[in-house]
Amino acid sequence: MTETPPTDEHRPWWRDAVVYQVYPRSFASSGTRGGGAGIGDLPGITSRLPYLRDLGVDALWLTPFYTSPQHDHGYDVADYRDVERLFGTLDDADALVAGAHEHGLKVVVDLVPNHTSDEHAWFRAALAAGPGGPERARYLFREGRGQGGDEPPNNWQSVFGGPAWTRVDDGQWYLHLFDSTQPDLDWRNPEVGDMFEDVLRFWLDRGVDGFRVDVAHGLFKEESLRDQERVVPPPGPDSPPETSMVERTEVDEPMWDQPEVHEVYRRWHRVLADYPGDRMDVAEAWTRTPESMARYVRPDEMQQAFNFAWLLAPWSAEAFADVVTGTFAALAPVGASPTWVLSNHDVIRHPTRYGGGLVGLARARAATLAMLALPGSSYLYQGEELGLEQVDVAPEDRQDPSWFRTGEVGRDGCRVPIPWSGDAPPYGFGPGGEQPWIPQPADWAGLTVEAQTGDDGSTLELYRAALAARRALPTADAVEVSVEGDVLRLERDGLVVLVNCGTTDVPLPAGDDTRVVVASGQVTDTLPPDTAVWLRG
Ligand code: NOJ
């Protein structure tokens, strides 16, 4: 039996929540804000809140909608306390938070503390002030190496490819672990921590329920900024930048997961505790092991950390079982509850990862159904409820900064705007007939929300049924995990979940009282390959 230790009577909302990730550029456009009809906006999201409530999720996580030149589509923040004009205004953000709360949905916003945009007032001041001043000390400016300082200060590579250093006109270099438009802050400078406490309070005062913390493992670098001794292999076409970071083994990482970072999360824990209503934060920390992930969710740090192990597991009963067992084992000593995720805006959509086509979709539906039965919190990414696949975006339409830095296909294929209705692009994404900022495929008419609604075999109706069934389950902290042949078996509080990862049908347990609660495909008295089922005995 794998379980997290019992908690107090009080059960915070996030412990069992299903959180739906909204990528604002690509969710829905009202056509009335700066981005026009081709770019999603905050009123567009607000208008779709009834859809999310009816889908059956508990919370939204909004990726960054703050003022930004959009080189990394919002993960390059120029003003943490205002809304990007493409998406709307602060009043629109307030209306979205209020509307979500009226629909019974919590709101988690993204916080980007590792780096700012190069258009942030601090970075502009740093450039204007020149070497040696306090303005530069908020970032990691250094002299170069070699003759004339022509070589970068160390050998670090950007996650998006190429050197992690860019030289400015006066000869100094600044560190950017991502794009050159995303200079890293120096968290050893107390001004930085103070600024982010203000930003947290700014959004908490506006009523948000939590924060997803971007690059939570990155804020501190080894103080010496020494060379990396074994360098991470560059990302390949099938491994988006941040997925490949997890696959690294035995690499030397002076830029990630330094012990000093935990003091930041202790401070934020105290800030969140100043507010009522179980405010929370969730770490995006691509650490190397479940044990290092668990350090981010010690009782006085963050409430949650994304558990990317489920997402990275291959289609195998053994692999899924190992992930579940390993996750609970790592979290038990710190008393944290698990999270699960299969897709997000940085990785290849899971039907495509599982092989694409009908098989990929069947496996994706089964993996989702299994995930939704696990104790803890699940994160869904917009469009997965429609069974969307990764789109092969034409080179001229690609916009991911990693594409510009490396020429490798980046993450655009999972960011294509959502199809809501109709037979042709923009499928109700925005008013008017224009293609959105990343063009939608011509063959999505059968995948729209409108087309799938009421179709019992559709992926959308499967998600609705599974989320409704999940709501009816008693909460659980424990799960029994086993593997028989190619079948994964999970049991929690009387609910049995079977996932057939093999290639032949397997018999379902017989018994007059056994009842199928929900299934990811057709089940009779057998469970076909690539299918999952929830059974109540
Ligand atoms: C993680 C975000 O999810 C990703 O989209 C972004 O590019 C990097 N962090 C840099 O902020």
Q: Output the pLDDT for position 245.
A: 42
End-to-end CA distance of the chain: 19
User: Ligand 1: distance of its center to the CA of 303 in Å?
Assistant: 20
Tell me, using a 6 A CB cutoff, whether residue 179 lines ligand 1: no
Q: What is the per-residue pLDDT across 258-278, written as a single tens digit (0 to 9) for each?
A: 999 999 999 999 999 999 999
Q: Which residue has the tokens 């050998």?
A: 155
The dihedral built from the CA positions of residue 308, 310, 316 and 319, taken in this order, carries a sign that is: positive
Q: 412 CB under 6 A from ligand 1?
A: no
Q: Report CA(75)–ligand 1 centroid distance (Å).
A: 6
pLDDT in tens, the chain (537 residues): 676 555 557 999 999 999 999 999 999 999 999 999 999 999 999 999 999 999 999 999 999 999 999 999 999 999 999 999 999 999 999 999 999 999 999 999 999 999 999 999 999 999 999 999 999 999 999 999 999 999 999 999 999 999 999 999 999 999 999 999 999 999 999 999 999 999 999 999 999 999 999 999 999 999 999 999 976 554 443 344 444 444 455 679 999 999 999 999 999 999 999 999 999 999 999 988 888 999 999 999 999 999 999 999 999 999 999 999 999 999 999 999 999 999 999 999 999 999 999 999 999 999 999 999 999 999 999 999 999 999 999 999 999 998 998 899 999 999 999 999 999 999 999 999 999 999 999 999 999 999 999 999 999 999 999 999 999 999 999 999 999 999 999 999 889 999 999 999 999 998 767 899 999 999 999 999 999 999 997
Catalytic residue among 284, 346, 400, 491: 284
Tokens of 364: 């994706």
Among protein residues, the one with the nearest Cα to ligand 1's atom 5 is 346
Three-class secondary structure of residue 240 per DSSP: coil
CA distance 521 to 526: 11
453 Cβ partners below 8 Å, 6+ apart?
460, 461
Measured between alpha carbons, how far is 487 from 168 in angstroms, rounded to an integer? Answer: 57
Cα 398 to ligand 1 centre (Å): 16
Report the atom number in ligand 1 closest to the C-alpha of 178.
10
Centre of ligand 1 from the C-alpha of residue 29, in Å? 23
Amino acid, res. 269: H
- Whether 92 is in the pocket of ligand 1, judged by its Cβ within 6 Å, is no
Give the tokens for residue 526.
Answer: 């057998």
As given in the structure block, the two tokens for residue 441 are 């495929």
Cβ–ligand 1 contact at 156 (below 6 Å): no
HEC states along 137-195? HHECEECCECHHHCECCCCCECCCCCECEEECCCCCEEECCCCCCCCEECCCCHHHHHH
Q: Residue 246's pLDDT is what? A: 41
Which atom in ligand 1 lies closest to the alpha carbon of residue 115?
Answer: 11
CA 273 to chain centre: 24
Name the residue of 117, 180, 242, 341 whose CB sits within 8 Å of the most ligand 1 atoms, as the mutation to test its pocket. Answer: 242
pTM of the model: 0.96
**Beta-strand (E) ranges in 336-493?**
339-341, 377-381, 478-484, 487-492
Q: Check if 214 is active-site.
A: yes
**Of 23, 47, 112, 120, which is closest to residue 79 (Cα–Cα)?**
120
Residue 284 known to be catalytic: yes
Ligand 1 in contact with 75 (CB < 6 A)?
Answer: yes
C-alpha span between 198 and 424 (Å, rounded): 45
Query: How much is the pLDDT for 86?
Result: 98
pLDDT for residue 7: 55
Closest CA to 75 of 395, 389, 282, 345: 345
283 neighbors 217 (Cβ within 8 angstroms) = yes
| C-beta 414 within 6 A of ligand 1 | no
Could you tell me if 429 and 439 are in contact, meaning their C-beta atoms sit under 8 angstroms apart? no
pLDDT at position 537, please? 77
Q: What is the pLDDT of residue 505?
A: 97
Whether residue 346 has its Cβ less than 6 Å from ligand 1: yes
Hey, which residues does 531 pair with through a beta bridge? 500
* Domains of the chain and any CATH numbers: 8-114+190-471 (3.20.20.80), 121-175 (3.90.400.10), 480-536 (2.60.40.1180)
Joined together, the tokens standing for residue 439 give 């063009």
Residue 22, φ and ψ in degrees, nearest 5: -105, 125
pLDDT for residue 235: 44
Q: Which ranges of 295-438 does DSSP label H, i.e. alpha helix? A: 309-312, 317-331, 350-353, 357-373, 401-406
Pick the catalytic residue from 58, 92, 214, 346.
214
CA atoms of 473 and 334, how far apart (whole Å) = 26
CA distance 239 to 246: 10
Ligand 1: residue of 70, 72, 76 to mutate (most ligand atoms within 8 A of CB) is 72
In this structure, how many other beta carbons lie within 10 angstroms of the beta carbon of residue 464?
18
Judge if the beta carbon of residue 41 lies within 6 A of ligand 1: no
Q: Which residues contact 147 (CB under 8 A, 6 or more apart)?
A: none
72 lines ligand 1 (CB under 6 A): yes
CA dist 140 and 451 (Å) reads 51
